Every structure is written in structure tokens, then in C-alpha cells.
Amino acid sequence: MAGGGSAIRGSRVGAGPMGEAERGDTAPRRQVVYFCAHRHESVVIFAVDAQVPESWDCPRCGLPASLDSDNPPPPPKIEPYKTHLAYVKERRSDKEAEAILDEAIATLRERRKRGEIIF
């Protein structure tokens, strides 16, 4: 490697950031304000011809925000965490669970008798 420096290739010392003259003009933009349930105002910039979404997640608190400052969307209802056992109990009664367990134990005992399972 010639030079051995850590300079970025293609730039020179003292080169400033590229301005609009080198990049061209920016697209016309507009500001849209969204409001969340905590009354945070989020200003989002869109291109003039872009379709503006009805809702936007608030960058401060993460709640959904809308364009209506008087009626922001309510916070989503958070479901409590359920364990696997809780989901199983929703689907099976105690009587069904007992029958399934008895069947599994009977199958296991049969396999042990045939020598398929050693322990």
C-alpha cells in the first residue's frame, strides 16, 4: 500500500462537506406534525408529493400518534405475558389433560417392556 496514511481515498485535507452546488437541489419538502396520547408533538418531514400516513410512532415514547391534536390515538392495550402452560390450560380441561397424561404413561411403560427405552 503506497502512502500508508489513513486518509480517505478521493478526498483531500481541508475538503469541506459537499454542498447543494455539487449534489443538486433538494426535493421540495413539507413538515407534518403528529400527536400522541402523552401530548408529544413529532415533526416529520415528507416530500411534497409523498403520501402522508395517518399514524406515526412517537419517537419519544413509542405510542401511536396521529394528525389530530385533539384526539390522539389511545395507548394500545398490553396483554400480560402468558406461559405455555397457561395457553395449554385454555385449550384443555383438567380431565382431558389427565387422559392425555395417562395415555402417554401407558405408551412409555409399553416401550420399556419391549426394551425400546432403557431408563
Could you give the 3-state DSSP secondary structure of residue 26?
coil
Which helix or strand (DSSP H or E) is residue 60 part of? none
Q: What is the DSSP letter of 38?
A: T
Can you give the pLDDT at residue 88? 87
- The separation between the first and the last C-alpha atoms of the chain, rounded to the nearest angstrom, is 65
Note the pLDDT of residue 16: 61
Provide the pLDDT for residue 58.
94
Fold classified for 26-66: Rubrerythrin, domain 2 (2.20.28)
pLDDT averages per 10-residue partition of the chain, 119 residues: 59 60 79 94 94 94 93 90 90 92 93 83
The three-point CA angle 9-10-14 to 5° equals: 100
Domain boundaries, the chain: 26-66, 84-113
